[in-house]
Structure 1
């Protein structure tokens, strides 16, 4: 009698384990999936970065497309001259891992600005400086004194 009841309970436990395994596996899989890639991580990481890149590309295209044909022609001439100037061996910037140095981007930007065709990056930084000056004048930004 004792042996029969023991076997009955053991058989009953095995049946319960078999029913619980798929549920446990499903629950574990879902929890790993949901904690691994949460909606906030996706939104703040992938979506926002992608949206910022697309906005920047649209702004850049709008800036260059708004130029007159004469300005576009001047930009082509300045670009050819400034690119050649900034990529000369004596003007290259020394950087670890690059034996011959790298393209001198600051020199290129200054050259383009002096030529009368500022790059989009220069234009954008000027606009940011203007906005900061306006905010300082309104008292929104308090200057730091050291």
Structure 2
């Protein structure tokens, strides 16, 4: 009887120790991520991706085909394949050809 109660106390203390060890070892990592803004950046990226997907999902099939064609042309014009990427040229080219890209806030 007395051995059972000692064993139960030992098990409870062991579980408490393991739980505390888990909490203490995770806390510095979590605090570092919070301090560096990891979670807010992740949330902002997810929100941007969601809005971007919605923007492109509204396009008709013809617009999607035009975008695919214009993307190849504008990649060549902007120097994407030569390693000299110029995003301003790419965006201007896409807009001139009738395929505006998502810039956020829409």
Q: Is TM > 0.5 for Structure 1 vs Structure 2?
A: yes
Larger radius of gyration: 1
Counting only pairs closer than 5 Å after superposition, residues 102-117 of structure 1 correspond to structure 2 as: 102-117=84-99
Q: Deviations over 1:63-94 (max 9, x none)?
A: 111100111111111111111111179xxxxx
**Per the alignment, in what secondary structure is the counterpart of residue 37 of structure 2?**
helix
Match of 1:62 among 41, 48, 54: 54
- Structure 2 gaps, min length 5: 1-23
Counting only pairs closer than 5 Å after superposition, residues 1-146 of structure 1 correspond to structure 2 as: 36=28, 39=31, 42=34, 45-87=37-79, 102-121=84-103, 124=104, 127=106
Distance 1:77 1:38 in 2: 45
The structure with the largest strand share of the pair is: 1
Measured on the aligned residues, the alpha-carbon RMSD in Å equals 3.1
- Structure 1 gaps, min length 5: 1-29, 90-99, 128-146
Instruction: Give the 4+ runs in structure 1 shifted more than 2 A.
Output: 36-41
Q: Please, what TM-score do these two structures have when normalized by structure 2?
A: 0.62
Q: Please, what TM-score do these two structures have when normalized by structure 1?
A: 0.47
**Per the alignment, in what secondary structure is the counterpart of residue 41 of structure 2?**
helix
